[in-house]
Structure 1
Amino acid sequence: MRREFLDHVVTLDERHLRRVLSAYFEYHHRTRTHVSLGKDCPEPRPVQPPSAGIVVAFPQVGGLHHRYERRAA
């Protein structure tokens, strides 16, 4: 977590640190892939076929990471 996140963020106080850590934990469990889980997330998500539309990026954790989904054009 330190290399992926905390080394890139300047926190202002304890409340800010808790808020950014909460955002990172949500990203880590719902979006980030894990090799030990077969490149899936702890909370599995459905596979989106190419026919579902174009790939759109959604910024997460203040734009430090992104989540990608297919959306109909």
Structure 2
Amino acid sequence: MDIRVVFARNLKHYRQLRGLTQAALAAAMDVDRAHVSAMERQQQNVTIVTLQKVADALGVEPAQLLAKLE
């Protein structure tokens, strides 16, 4: 499976698990909501720095965002 698909699914999964809207996650990351939306739709290539920002905002390890969920 494409790593972008895995990341997008995990991002949405952990965001929803924590009860966050895209706007709330974007505010926690200090980015625009459209950026979060683009990541969830696999339209945004994510840098390692962004990966860390997402992980920090969601309270997960970066590796959790890249691991296939069972």
Q: TM-score, normalised by structure 2?
A: 0.26
**Greater fraction of residues in strand:** 1
Could you say which structure has the greater relative contact order, defined with CA pairs below 8 angstroms and 6 or more residues apart? 2
Q: TM-score, normalised by structure 1?
A: 0.25
**Greater fraction of residues in helix:** 2
